[in-house]
Structure 1
Amino acid sequence: MKIFLLEDDFSLNRLICNALEQKGFFVTSVDDGYDAMTHILNNKYDLYILDINVPGFSGHEVLEEIRKINKSLPVIIVSAQLDMDNISKAYDLGCNDYLKKPFELEELLLHIKYHIKTLYKNDIDKDIIDLGYGFSFDLKDQTLYKHEHEIILTQKEKLLLTLFIHNLDKTVSSEMIHEYVWDNKEMEAVSMRSMIHKLQKKLKSGMIVNIRGVGYKLMKKEFT
């Protein structure tokens, strides 16, 4: 799962990044609103964490741009601004949560965990997505299991599996994979095929199918 962080306090930025990466998330972090705008206009993320008072575009302006692109993905504001005008403006612009600084990292992780659940409405009371055939994926820890035994995934494999879970039984185009897993960075087609082949070998044969000329699909027809 991909999380975007806008925080201009270097120490706090690093603390949040390290805590999230230890949980298996892929984090893109910036410290000013200009870089934030560039990233959100050119890449896709699953959840956004924004400070308000940052150099360049403010967190409010970045939030407004995010909502032009996507109306539903979770946005958490983290700010020392405690006045009602700033809080009210953030909610009016479409934030899902407002976490007041200073906060404990565990508190932020709990908020993230809640919003991850909202992305999977059919599994809102579960941390574990059942993939069938004895496989399951822990949304909180970004971990794949087969009969409760962990299967080691690379960071890109975690991103790819998350993308497939977002689109169960739907075709995921090669362009979507390139954008989500590689952030639209230059890559060779063989790299994508190789990674998909490696993930296929870690799952049951036939779970990921090739839709010739279009992309790939994680099948759910026989899932439990």
Structure 2
Amino acid sequence: MRILLAEDERSLSRALKAILTKSNYSVDCVFDGEEAVLYAMASEYDLVIMDIMMPKQDGISALKEIRSKGNSVPVLMLTAKSEIDDKVEGLDSGANDYLTKPFDTKELLARIRVLTRQPAVATDNVLKFGNLTLDRGSFELSSPKGKYRLAGKEFQMMEMLMMNPGILISTEKFMDKIWGLDSEADISTAWTYISYLRKKLAALESNVQIKATRNAGYSLEEIT
């Protein structure tokens, strides 16, 4: 999953990015409200984490602008303030949740899981398709024949495929959602990771395959 982090305090931004990346999220970082709006509207994110006190445009104003443009991405607001009026203003402006600094890492990750939960396809943080299971807590891909712990981009690609079984996902969408706007990686990188996943599916003797559709993309299909 891909997160936009808007936090002007550079040291905190670096720390949060490290925490989120370790938890297998892709993170784009911006440092003011104007950038937050530009990034949120230019690409597709699963979640925006946004500080209220930022230069150029504060978080509340940025959030209002994002919502006025029809973008319904979940937004978690961060602030050093704890006054109830600030929380109410954030929620009334379209925020989905609110976290006051300082906060515990476990609480942040729990809030993120709630805001990005997909109840139609996931039960207890586990995705299933065919004889495959992907545990989004342990990052393990398993079948009755064994299991692999997926890391980083492999996990994110498999998660996208298992959340959208049978649906064609273009290589460009993989690049956008997983590598992000600022990445120097090219399309061949996605092809390489698809190859890694196919080898793991074969080793697990899965009844699921990653099917390529020429000039269109990839889809997860059961083998019949």
The TM-score with structure 2 as length reference comes to: 0.81
Q: Does the Cα contact within 8 Å between 1:137 and 1:145 map onto a contact in 2?
A: yes
Q: What is the letter of the counterpart of residue 210 of structure 1?
A: A
Per-residue deviation, residues 70-95 of structure 1 (Å, max 9, x unmatched): 32x32111112333443222212221
Specify whether residues 31 and 141 from structure 1 end up closer, same or farther in structure 2 by C-alpha distance, changes over 3 A only.
farther
Per-residue deviation, residues 111-166 of structure 1 (Å, max 9, x unmatched): 1122232x23343x411112332x22122344433449542434222222232233
The aligned runs of 1:46-85 (5 Å cut-off) are 46-67=46-67, 68-71=69-72, 73-85=73-85
Q: Does the Cα contact within 8 Å between 1:47 and 1:74 map onto a contact in 2?
A: yes
Specify whether residues 105 and 148 from structure 1 end up closer, same or farther in structure 2 by C-alpha distance, changes over 3 A only.
farther
SS in 2 for 1:121: coil
SS in 2 for 1:197: helix
**Which ranges of structure 1 fall in alignment gaps of 5 or more residues?**
none
**Structure 1 partner of 2:7:** 7
CA distance in 1, matches of 2:164, 2:42: 21
The aligned runs of 1:41-190 (5 Å cut-off) are 41-67=41-67, 68-71=69-72, 73-117=73-117, 119-123=118-122, 125-133=123-131, 135-147=132-144, 150-184=147-181, 185=183, 187-190=185-188
**Which ranges of structure 2 fall in alignment gaps of 5 or more residues?**
none
- Which stretch of the first structure deviates more once superposed, 148-157 or 19-28? 148-157
Specify whether residues 95 and 105 from structure 1 end up closer, same or farther in structure 2 by C-alpha distance, changes over 3 A only.
same
The total of aligned residue pairs comes to 218
The TM-score with structure 1 as length reference comes to: 0.81
Q: Does the Cα contact within 8 Å between 2:139 and 2:149 map onto a contact in 1?
A: no
SS in 1 for 2:128: strand
SS in 1 for 2:169: strand
SS in 2 for 1:207: strand
CA distance in 2, matches of 1:148, 1:154: 20
Specify whether residues 212 and 53 from structure 1 end up closer, same or farther in structure 2 by C-alpha distance, changes over 3 A only.
same
Q: Does the Cα contact within 8 Å between 1:5 and 1:28 map onto a contact in 2?
A: yes
Q: Does the Cα contact within 8 Å between 1:169 and 1:221 map onto a contact in 2?
A: no
| Correspondence 1:197 to 2:199 | no
Specify whether residues 189 and 28 from structure 1 end up closer, same or farther in structure 2 by C-alpha distance, changes over 3 A only.
closer
Q: What is the letter of the counterpart of residue 76 of structure 2?
A: I
